A and B are shown apart, each in its own frame.
Chain A
Amino acid sequence: MSSLSSSSSGSSAPGDLDPDVDLGDSPGNSAERAVLSVFFGGTSSSFSNTNTHVELFGRWASGFVVHVSEFENRASRECTECGRVAPVTSVTLSYLAETRPRSVCSPCLEELRAKKLRMIMTQQAEGADDDAPLEESSGGAEGTASFKMLFDGCGVTNGLMGTLFAVGLAPQVTRVVAAVNALLAKFPAVTVNAMGLSRGGMACLMLAHALQVTQHSNNHLFLLF
């Protein structure tokens, strides 16, 4: 049985989520290589629509979804799940084939994540063939397990600060690095294929910087003038 969870501390604010990724007891061990496809949207790109090729290819790419697009909304609004008025996070639940984001408060977001995990585990349990790596998808090269991560543009995730100063790219990159670490613990080798439009392309370059750092270090300071 495979599992994948994205853990986050209960006290974290929306949009400031713990990027640790735990692949649990995922089998996929028979695969020799994991292929992680990462799609960084342009500043105003959102995976809640398919306006650009980034979203189109991101959706079309096969693979186990490590990260679904989600973005922060700082305003307090009514949570669509529990009805409580609180700071909400807009989440597009692509694993439920939803195309429009829900506005959910932090506890409900955690519940949705737990639901996603249970759903994934159930699907895997019903997959019958325990020997076959769950993540291996149709069209993938033999011996590879496919994963994907989809990120909205920084203007969508971080509003005006993201639009003007590219705030929000670094946390996205941190999430990818966390996923790479998790995959390295499960697979002999990992190939990361990252595509980015505009500021998303800059996120790709930041990812290259991030992956070359092999020891603890201060995060790069990215300022924009």
Chain B
Amino acid sequence: MFISQGADASRVALNLLLFDPVPGNSLTNAAVSGRLCFANQCMHVDCACLARVVALYPHEPLPDAAFHAPIIPRYGAHTQVVQEVILGCHQGACWSTTESLAQRLSFCHIHETLLSFGTAFEGAPPVDLTRKRVDKRQVIADLNAYCSKKRTPTSRRVHCDRSVEILARESGTHLNRWHMVGNGDSEGQFLCEIVETT
């Protein structure tokens, strides 16, 4: 895999939208198998052409036996990275066939991100049902209602070279940064975020 030698690599800009990237390794095995492990091979992503990364991580954990711990890689200093914790669990947050808040939220996240990357779309969303999901204001209003109640805290372990986890608190003013910005606020306590552990 290579870019043509005659081509100037600086002519390429790469933007990534990662939706719960899961290598499929067990956390224990990743800790002991070094570079033989898929998760560890992708742990450091320092690509000169990597301009932006938006990574979305659903907060609900799956059983350890499912090997669905996501990866939080280390990126180069020049890469603009946004990591958001969202509602739902893994692929369940990405279904396009139902209309839960988690799925509408991920729809808005993905839509906004791809548009900001420069990906163009043709006409209306291909599924009639999804037209409702594009209403960001409704999603923000639903998130406000969601954050107004106490929730069951969760934590999700991850593949990472630092000691971090995906945390959902009992309460918070906003779900995540996207929600805060959508509300026009500049500060608050996030209900879900990636935190360092001791």
Interface residues of chain A, those whose CB is within 8 Å of chain B, are 35, 37, 42-43, 50-57, 59-63, 137-141, 144, 146, 164-166, 170, 173-174, 177, 180-181, 184-185, 188-202, 204-217, 219-220, 222-225
Tell me if A184 and B4 are in contact (CB < 8 A).
yes
Classify the secondary structure of A's interface with B.
Answer: mixed
21 contacts across the A-B interface (CB closer than 8 A): A35-B118, A50-B97, A50-B126, A50-B127, A52-B91, A57-B111, A61-B119, A63-B119, A138-B123, A141-B120, A184-B3, A189-B12, A191-B12, A192-B14, A196-B19, A201-B21, A208-B14, A212-B50, A222-B38, A223-B37, A225-B29
- The 4 A-B pairs with the shortest beta carbon distances in the complex, nearest first, are A201-B21, A210-B1, A140-B120, A212-B47
* Docked complex Cα distance between A56 and B125 (Å): 8
* Docked complex Cα distance between A104 and B46 (Å): 41
CB distance from A53 to the nearest CB of B (A): 5
Chain B 35-74, CB-CB to A under 8 Å as 1, else 0, gives 0111001100111111000010000000000000001010
> Is B180 interfacial (CB-CB < 8 Å)?
no
Chain A residues lying within 8 Å of B126, measured Cβ to Cβ, are 50, 56, 59-60
Option from A51, A60, A220 in Cβ contact (under 8 Å) with B121: A60
- Also in contact, A224 and B7, with CB within 8 A (given A60-B126, A192-B13): no
* Docked complex Cα distance between A214 and B125 (Å): 38
Chain A residues lying within 8 Å of B41, measured Cβ to Cβ, are 220, 222
Chain B residues lying within 8 Å of A222, measured Cβ to Cβ, are 38, 41
CB distance from B94 to the nearest CB of A (A): 5
Tell me if A51 and B38 are in contact (CB < 8 A).
no
* Docked complex Cα distance between A144 and B97 (Å): 32
CB distance from B79 to the nearest CB of A (A): 9
Option from A140, A165, A184 in Cβ contact (under 8 Å) with B12: A184
Tell me if A184 and B11 are in contact (CB < 8 A).
yes
Tell me if B47 and A208 are in contact (CB < 8 A).
yes
Interface residues of chain B, those whose CB is within 8 Å of chain A, are 1-5, 7, 9, 11-26, 29, 33, 36-38, 41-42, 45-50, 55, 71, 73, 90-91, 94-97, 103, 106-107, 110-111, 114, 117-123, 125-127, 130
Chain B residues lying within 8 Å of A210, measured Cβ to Cβ, are 1-2
Tell me if A211 and B14 are in contact (CB < 8 A).
yes
Chain B residues lying within 8 Å of A138, measured Cβ to Cβ, are 120, 122-123
- Nearest A-chain residue to B14, judged by Cβ: A192
Tell me if B11 and A51 are in contact (CB < 8 A).
no
Option from A140, A192, A202 in Cβ contact (under 8 Å) with B21: A202
Tell me if B42 and A206 are in contact (CB < 8 A).
yes
Tell me if B118 and A144 are in contact (CB < 8 A).
yes
Tell me if A174 and B17 are in contact (CB < 8 A).
no
Option from A35, A37, A60, A204 in Cβ contact (under 8 Å) with B18: A204
Tell me if A223 and B3 are in contact (CB < 8 A).
no
Tell me if B47 and A209 are in contact (CB < 8 A).
yes
- Nearest B-chain residue to A139, judged by Cβ: B120
Chain A residues lying within 8 Å of B25, measured Cβ to Cβ, are 224-225
